[in-house]
Amino acid sequence: MKVILIGANGRMGKSLQQYFNEQSIVVLPIDIDNRNGLKDLIGDVIVDFSCSDALKENLEFAKSKNIPIVVATTNHSKENLKLMNMYKHYLPIFYAPNMSIQFNLVASFIDKLKLLNGCDFVVEEAHHKHKKDKPSGSAKLLIKKLNNISIKPKVYCVRAGSIVGEHSLKIYDQMENLEIKHTVLDRKVFCVGTLKACEFIIKKQNGLYNMENIIDSL
């Protein structure tokens, strides 16, 4: 498999290059701020770990080359989500704000929590001090899923130190409490999930896919 990696010089891009090299996967790297040479690259799949502002340009490139794309950036606007829904008619797109399989298992469990509507729900998330978006894309996914079952949680965000990623869903009742927590100890977990996304999307027809599609296929 040959991967065009947009955002190769970023924190995740560097980790992904190292992991893919260990798996004997060919990586064609493109820096976040220097796209020279991108138009000449040909690969089996594109991985976008750049920034949300570059989404339209990256989707247009994928469309022009007829190459599936994995969108792993966060902090997307409603306009960007509309863009992905538009471009899904032209190419296979995989989008996930969090590439961890375990985190997405937690997210897939939320639909069952409608049985607890009436309790107090809290979403807490913590990341390193350099992370720009707040709440994180992963926290927004949890919030959206809770909103879909008419639950509006309180949300708390922490930006400190070098925390890779922590997300908690807490449910409080008068007689009992429930906490579901996911903690990332190594950034490599996102690399493993990204590889699964690449292997998944290169076999798919045009459409918009996510981690739940992978979980359902396991």
Active-site option among 76, 112, 130, 131: 131
Active site residue 167: no
3-state secondary structure of 5: strand
Rg for the chain, CA atoms, rounded = 18
Whole-number pLDDT of residue 101: 92
Active site residue 131: yes
Active-site option among 76, 127, 140, 170: 127
3-state secondary structure of 164: coil
Digitized pLDDT (tens) for each residue of the chain, 218 residues in all: 999 999 999 889 999 999 999 999 999 999 988 888 888 899 999 999 999 999 999 999 999 999 999 999 988 999 999 999 999 999 999 999 999 999 999 888 898 898 898 899 999 999 999 998 899 999 999 999 999 999 999 999 999 999 999 999 999 999 999 999 999 999 899 999 999 999 999 999 999 999 999 988 87
3-state secondary structure of 60: helix
DSSP string across 64-125: HHT--EEE------HHHHHHHHHHTTTSEEEE-S---HHHHHHHHHGGGGGGGBTBEEEEEE
